[in-house]
Amino acid sequence: MAIKNILVAYNGGAASDAALHLGVQMAHKYDAHLTGIMAHGISSTTRHMPAWLSAHIRQSIEETFEGHGADVRRRFHEQVTANLTADRTHWLEVEDDPDRSVATFARVFDITLVGQYENLPEQDAMLLHPDRIAYDAARPVIIAPKSYKAERLNERAVIAWDGGKTAARAMMDAMHVLETKEFVSVVTIGEDCFNRIPKRLDICALLARHGIRAEHQILPLKREGAAATLLDYCDTSDFGLLVMGAYERAKFAEDLTGGFTQRVLRNITLPTFVSH
């Protein structure tokens, strides 16, 4: 299935600017439509306004947040109209919880782009948590690191492969992207992990039938752990996309004690395609 509908969660932060930059590049590559979504709930300032505040002050505070929303809308259109034609760009505004709203809309788009998490106290009503969106959407999400400013798409990709169900889900969800890449490195971390994968399964042969040039590598597990091993490999080998399954362990458990998915998403330096 070709990519024709791209959704970008946009709140005006630097990370969402990076996601939008990547979204425009992908829209050009795939001749796709790009839709921006600005979702906003109730800010903590508005929610906790004391009852004794005058109507004038209340109105002033509300107008401040409305003005911020207008500024976000303007910034989106400035970045998009300079790069895409008007008939291929669209804009949505939703007054509801940002994560829930983006996840709901993501279910009917080919791919959704979200910026890496960043704390924006001044606009907490628009705060986005890419891990929650990926978990709730039941659709693939690409998370763009805040630092992403590449002039062109890097067409080399990495698949984090342990033979598990979320890794398999991510690889299959990403197939329409992987088929357009010049080279794919399938990476398994540690001999123990490699030994758990069925030996009759030649993952590169399966990818080759999709026209994907791939090779399988087993990376020695570093003392810092699997997440650091994977990220170091991506950083030192010039890749433009990481494909990985998310939350093989329960997300609640990772939120409490940490885990592979959480550690990777906090420290990515390249766009990361995740599925759950």
In angstroms, the CA 160 to CA 34 distance is: 28
Q: Which domains does the chain have, with CATH numbers?
A: 5-144 (3.40.50.620), 156-275 (3.40.50.620)
pLDDT greater than 80 at residue 57: no
Q: Where are the alpha helices (DSSP H) in the chain?
A: 14-30, 44-47, 55-81, 98-106, 130-137, 165-173, 175-178, 191-196, 203-208, 226-236, 251-257, 260-267
Q: pTM of this prediction? A: 0.86
- Higher pLDDT: 73 or 51? It is 73
Which range among 3-7, 159-163, 170-174, 196-200 shows the weakest confidence by mean pLDDT? 196-200
In angstroms, the CA 56 to CA 63 distance is: 11
In angstroms, the CA 51 to CA 220 distance is: 60
pLDDT score at 106: 97
pLDDT score at 201: 77
- Mean pLDDT over the full length of the chain: 86
pLDDT score at 261: 81
Output the six-digit token pair for 227. Answer: 């997440």
Mean pLDDT of the 133-139 span: 90
